[in-house]
Chain A
């Protein structure tokens, strides 16, 4: 049983944090893509109804 030194612990923390922020960034990108596509669907549906 041993405690990592502060530098090692900070490195590990940085890796964990960067990974987590990467996942969060992916979630926000995915949401933006979804909203854009849903807007496209709405306008295509409206155009379809107008015909």
Chain B
């Protein structure tokens, strides 16, 4: 509860700070940037975490690792959807259209489609143990695909997206951006932790019900 309140205050402060920001280089100033960019970062962090926990499941065979990997991937997926929608609103203000076929825009959609396919593949496996093993491999593969779609693809094709805003912007702009990125990273961790607890409780209940029925 205290963690939620801290994250709540942190992000509300971060958004308000974004509202008061001067424009970044060659860009229209909008508080949406301070939601869109941290959400996209949050997605990357979550997908990275999902790959790490997938690897841990393969190594340690602890059910909690698999639950956390799945929870992080789901959270990253939701954050990715929000980043795409808010990114389109931001694009309308900056580039005049919601959708510009920019490599970064198509890249994030490709990442989301990749994960949608991986979730479907996981749910298609009938054996629980096998589905966890497959998921671990999917999570690692999915993260490599995400890195390609969101970091490499845009550099290969050239993007409308500003480069290195988190590094080259003015001091206060950079501070506001990183302040929000940290807040959303905490939020990703929190949501994934709770989602993993829910998954573990659901598995335990299923186990008890199963044992009672035989």
Binding site for B on A (CB under 8 A): 1-4, 8-9, 12-13, 15-17, 19-20, 23-24, 26-28, 30-31, 33-34, 37-38, 40-41, 44-45, 48
In the bound complex, CA of A29 to CA of B29 (Å)? 33
Whether the pair A31, B194 counts as a contact (CB closer than 8 A) is yes
Per the CB 8 Å criterion, the residue count for chain B at the interface is 38
Within 8 Å CB of A2, what residues of B? 23, 28-29
What is the interface of chain B mostly: helix, strand, loop, or mixed? helix
Interchain CB contact under 8 A, B197 and A23: no
Asked if A48 and B15 sit within 8 Å, CB to CB, the answer is no
79-124 of chain B: CB within 8 A of chain A: 82, 86, 89, 93
Q: Indicate which residue in B8, B11, B201 contacts A37 across the interface (CB closer than 8 Å).
A: B201
Query: Closest B-chain residue to A30, C-beta based?
Result: B194
Q: Which residues of B contact A (CB under 8 A)?
A: 4, 8, 11-12, 15, 18-19, 22-23, 25-32, 34-35, 82, 86, 89, 93, 187, 190-191, 194-195, 197-198, 201-202, 204-205, 208-209, 211-212
Q: Are B198 and A30 closer than 8 Å at their CB atoms? A: yes
